[in-house]
Amino acid sequence: GENVGLHLPTLSVQEGDNSIINCAYSNSASDYFIWYKQESGKGPQFIIDIRSNMDKRQGQRVTVLLNKTVKHLSLQIAATQPGDSAVYFCAENLGGISGGYNKLIFGAGTRLAVHP
Amino acid sequence: SQTIHQWPATLVQPVGSPLSLECTVEGTSNPNLYWYRQAAGRGLQLLFYSVGIGQISSEVPQNLSASRPQDRQFILSSKKLLLSDSGFYLCAWGSPNQPQHFGDGTRLSIL
């Protein structure tokens, strides 16, 4: 499959530890943010999203934090498992809907490597 | 539930040959549809989006074109492929202010 993550920053963690993946976004007008997980040879898979009127949202083993002051987004994964190994992308929606669609701008990605 | 299909999964084409990649969505109507390209070790670059049948918007000038002949069908084409067209092509569908959902992509290699 596609060698996603060839030049990406890598976060290495031990199985069972918590992982934190960070993302800086660029546009202060962005109002909606999404985290995706991409395994090698596959398309990105939706993990969790957050809107700009919130600063924290929790899912199953994942938490997204949004700091609009410094334009920073983070994804926390609790009790990281080998199956969490993948490339993680953040995406920002540029300020509302233009022409009926939302334009997502993706970050460069971070590779998460989970070691047993 | 909604599903999205892309094919083929892998394609090897000579320089100068034509291209047609197809994407279909099931379980939803009037979705927004998107084509992205992903270079190795990089993020996703939006190529085209469509908000309805026959409505195509291009994000970057390039050697590719897109068409939407039916509500849930999105096609990426080229008349003559260039070496620089190599990459991982992803189709996605979505609704405004909702997550986009991706297919499993086509890995295109140009020789």
Has residue B81 got a pLDDT over 90?
yes
Enumerate residues 6+ apart whose C-beta is below 8 A from B64: B19, B35, B47, B48, B76, B77, B78, B85
Q: State the Cα–Cα distance between residues B43 and A105, nearest whole angstrom.
A: 9
* Region B83-91 average pLDDT: 95
What beta strand segments (E) does B2-105 contain? 3-7, 10-13, 19-26, 32-38, 44-52, 55-58, 65-70, 73-78, 87-94, 101-102
Reported as half-sphere exposure (CB side, CA atoms, 13 A), residue A67 has a value of 9
A97 in contact with chain B, both atoms CB, cutoff 8 A: yes
The more confident residue out of B95 and B93 is B93
What secondary structure letter does DSSP report for A98? B
User: Residue B8, preceding bond cis, omega within 30 degrees?
Assistant: yes
Residue of B nearest to A31 (CA): B97
What pLDDT is attached to residue B60? 81
Average pLDDT of chain B is: 93
Residue of A nearest to B33 (CA): A101
Count of other CB atoms within 10 angstroms of residue B53: 14
Residue B90: which of A7, A43, A108 has the nearest Cβ? A43
When pLDDT is cut at 50, 70 and 90, the band that residue B83 belongs to is: very high
What pLDDT is attached to residue A11? 95
Could you tell me what percent of chain A has a pLDDT over 70?
87
**Sole residue written with tokens 């069972």:** A16
Partners of B41 on chain A (C-beta within 8 Å) are: 3-8
Does the beta-carbon distance from B104 to A101 stay under 8 Å?
no
Instruction: Report CA A25 to chain centroid distance, whole Å.
Output: 11
* Number of inter-chain CB pairs under 8 A, A vs B: 74
Count of other CB atoms within 10 angstroms of residue B62: 15
* Region B54-77 average pLDDT: 92
Enumerate residues 6+ apart whose C-beta is below 8 A from B70: B53
Has residue A95 got a pLDDT over 90?
no
Does the beta-carbon distance from A32 to B97 stay under 8 Å?
yes
Please tell me the least confidently modeled range out of A6-15, B31-40, B62-71.
A6-15
Has residue A100 got a pLDDT over 80?
no
What pLDDT is attached to residue A2? 38
Taking Cα atoms as reference points, which of A79, A63, A3 lies closest to residue A39? A3
Taking Cα atoms as reference points, which of A36, A32, A42, A47 lies closest to residue A1? A42
What secondary structure letter does DSSP report for B85? G
Determine the distance in angstroms separating the CA of A111 from the nearest CA of chain B, rounded to an integer.
Answer: 10
Q: State the Cα–Cα distance between residues B46 and B60, nearest whole angstrom.
A: 8
Dump pLDDT digits (tens) for A39-94: 998 999 999 999 999 999 999 999 999 999 999 999 999 999 999 999 999 999 87
Determine the distance in angstroms separating the CA of A86 from the nearest CA of chain B, rounded to an integer.
Answer: 12
Does the beta-carbon distance from A93 to B42 stay under 8 Å?
no
B80 in contact with chain A, both atoms CB, cutoff 8 A: no
A25 in Cβ contact with A106 (< 8 Å) = no
